[in-house]
Amino acid sequence: GAGVSQSPSNKVTEKGKDVELRCDPISGHTALYWYRQSLGQGLEFLIYFQGNSAPDKSGLPSDRFSAERTGGSVSTLTIQRTQQEDSAVYLCASSSSVDEQFFGPGTRLTVL
C-alpha cells in the first residue's frame, strides 16, 4: 500500500546543469501530474499524463522543461540548463479518478 514516491527528496545543482526528478505513482493509477511550488506561492500545474495519451504540456514554463512517463507508470521530469528561478518544490500526484489526487512528498530543488 505504498503511496506516491519521489526522488531525490532534495537536489542542489549549479546554474546551467540539467536535473532529472523521478515520480513513482500509486500502482494502478492512470493519471499522473507534476506541479511546482515556489517559496510562498501556491501550486503551479506543470504537466499531466493520462494513460497512454499524449501529455498535456500547456503548463510547462519553458522549453527547458520536459517530462516522460514510461510504460504508463514511472515519470521523469527533466529541467535542462537550470536557472535560479527553477528553485522550488516539485510535487508529483497520481489519481485513479478525475478528482482526488494523492501527492508525493516532493523534491526540493535548489539552483545555485
Partner 1 sequence: EDKVVQSPLSLVVHEGDTVTLNCSYEVTNFRSLLWYKQEKKAPTFLFMLTSSGIEKKSGRLSSILDKKELFSILNITATQTGDSAIYLCAVWVQGAQKLVFGQGTRLTINP
Residue closer to partner 1 by CB (options 59, 80) is 59
Which positions touch partner 1 (CB under 8 A)?
4, 33, 35, 41-45, 48, 50, 56, 58-59, 89, 91, 98-106, 108
In angstroms, what is the minimal distance from the CB of 92 to partner 1? Answer: 9
DSSP character at residue 54: P
- b/e string for 99-112 if b means 16 or more Cβ within 10 A? eebeebebbebebe
Q: Whole-number minimum distance, CB 81 to partner 1, in Å?
A: 25
50 DSSP 8-state letter: E
Q: Determine contact, residues 68/1, Cβ cutoff 8 Å.
A: no
Of 15 and 28, nearer to partner 1 (C-beta) is 28
| Residue number with CB closer to partner 1 (52 or 58) | 58
